[in-house]
Amino acid sequence: MTYRPLGRTGVQVSPLTLGAMMFGPWGNDDRADATRIIHRALDAGINVVDTADVYSGGVSEEIVGKAIASRRDEVFLATKFFMPMSDEPNHGGGSRLWIMRAVEDSLRRLGTDHIDLYQVHRPSSGTDVEETLGALTDLVRQGKVRYIGSSSYSAGQIVEAQWTSRDRGLERFVTEQPPYSILVRGIEQDVLPTVQRHGMGTFCYSPLSGGWLSGRWRKGAAGAPTSAARPSARFDMSPPANQRKLDLVEDLALLADEAGMSLIDLALAFVINHPGLTSAIVGPRTMEQLESYLPATEITLTADVLDRIDEIVAPGVTVNPDDDSYGAHELTAASRRR
């Protein structure tokens, strides 16, 4: 496996990242099986494991921590905070109050004395980014965190955070984690160019668009997702946008077949070959799924295949806006109307 620089940090990471969202009650609750999957990923050369405190209410972090305990030095360990961990006030968000508690909880569950990459799971409209960056800077200086990153930030929010770090002498986000796939290409317009300009690394999530590009959801064979982590509305086949996705998946499956590869190979190779993308996060629930992802690291798509993909889904286009993670606050009625 060929490793890549993580922005301008000097860290080398694999083109695939093992996402741990499916480990625990949200997906695969067999801890022994999840451990085998993690070890297989490490044996295959994947050196980044990404999780979050909210995944299965902390169980994912516990599974990851125990699985990598004897191989900690092989792993660039990433986790995230922000999502509410209970109904109690101040048990989520980007405040200093919550960050200082959340990191201790994650360190305990992960069984480690430091987190390599600590990421804000979502931007917070109600918290000054300087407060979030200030708390994260203290964690870096205390040695509890090595690097910090953001997730699902818009281009404007990325720039604001970078400028705040520069002007206030704070640690800067060295990574961004956006959604990206052939069906969700919105970040090509501004997020990817922005992270490239700022020398950041990019870990993308949902490179198979939540399973749409795995070959599972096809015309005449649509079904509901098997994980509580996936909103069922995203797999409701009645909206026109999802009907359009079914048509596009058929076209992409045909293209993959003509190119002599699986639809999964096509989808993952498309993502990890983008010059602004460092690593694609894959979240297997089973060993079979993990094995189906690994060949993509050795595939380079030809210009002809890339041109065909652009004809099927134009650059910068997200087929169903519900698949994006941006604008949730800005587009609410309360934010738009007087």
User: d(Cα 20, Cα 60) in Å, to the nearest integer?
Assistant: 6
| Residue 55 falls in the annotated catalytic set | yes
Q: What's the length of the chain? A: 338
Contact 118, 139 (CB under 8 A): yes
User: Which of the following is catalytic: 55, 205, 293, 326?
Assistant: 55
Contact 211, 8 (CB under 8 A): no
Contacts of residues 88-94 at CB distance under 8 Å and 24 or more positions apart, as own/partner, are 93/124, 93/126, 93/127, 94/120, 94/123, 94/124, 94/127, 94/129, 94/131, 94/132
Residues linked to residue 151 through DSSP beta bridges, in sequence order: 177
For residue 189, what are the CA distances in angstroms to 75, 173, 180, 319? 32, 20, 12, 14
- Positions of E strands within 113-167: 115-120, 145-151
User: d(Cα 199, Cα 166) in Å, to the nearest integer?
Assistant: 14
Helices (H), 182-330: 191-197, 240-258, 263-272, 287-293, 303-312
User: d(Cα 227, Cα 216) in Å, to the nearest integer?
Assistant: 14
DSSP class of residue 239? S
User: d(Cα 94, Cα 49) in Å, to the nearest integer?
Assistant: 22
Phi then psi for residue 200, to 5 deg, are -90, 155
Q: Active-site residue numbers?
A: 55
